[in-house]
Amino acid sequence: MSTSRLLPKRPLQLYARHASLQAKASSSSAQIQTPYALFPTAVTAAPHFDLSRTVNTSIAELYYRRVEPEYSRESFLQGAMEAASIASQYIVDKNWNGLSNICVTDLVDMIRERCEAESALIPRIAPGDVLCSYLYSALISGKQIYRLNPGNTNIYLTAMVFCRNHPDVPQDLSLKKYLAKYYKEITVCHITFARAINPPGIWKATQLNYFNLI
């Protein structure tokens, strides 16, 4: 049996049963005008060229397409955009069991501890408020590739997902226009999904953060 049959075409299709959460969210999120972040971050949200990251991303995607022929960057980003909305709703509702369907246990524990220390850290993101995304990085790690880890060979895909905080922010603009004109009304979701590919495993988020650009 080929590896491609072991996983859905999109990493997050297995979360389709949580579609009821999307209906629960309002069509727009409350506008937030103060700086906030689920976790402190030094990540730059805007796309920028980094030679090492670009090379690693190209190598990782080429390698992974040999293992998973149905993989495409577009399908991964669509899954990441769905996850940005669903995970925000789980976090706001403090539904840690639901969040564990998307994230690894250690990440769920970190988010729960953070939310217990402070309230209202992030907005609830409705599906219609997710605007656009791009692939920030891709990385293959493991003994067979870099001879660094004694365990499985893993792939890590990181996306930046941009969401609006107010319904007045139009849809279908370019990322450049969002960052130039509407950056004060944007929430960024920085999310990394990983899976073991030798032997094959399931997709889980290993990093998740939400922050605004004020």
What is the tens place of the pLDDT at every residue in 32-89? 467 789 998 767 778 887 888 999 999 999 999 998 999 999 999 999 999 999 999 9
Give the domain ranges of the chain. Answer: 50-212
Q: CATH number for the 50-212 domain, one of 3.10.450, 3.30.1050, 3.40.1800, 3.40.50?
A: 3.10.450
Mean pLDDT calculated for residue range 127-135 = 97
Please, are residues 175 and 47 in contact by the beta-carbon 8 Å criterion? yes
Mean pLDDT calculated for residue range 169-190 = 94
What is the model's pLDDT at position 141? 85
Share of the chain above pLDDT 90, in %: 62
Cβ within 8 Å of residue 58, ≥6 positions away: none
Mean pLDDT calculated for residue range 134-144 = 84
The per-residue pLDDT of the chain, averaged, comes to 82
Q: Which two tokens stand for residue 73?
A: 């960057």
Each residue's pLDDT tens digit, 156-173: 999 999 999 999 999 999
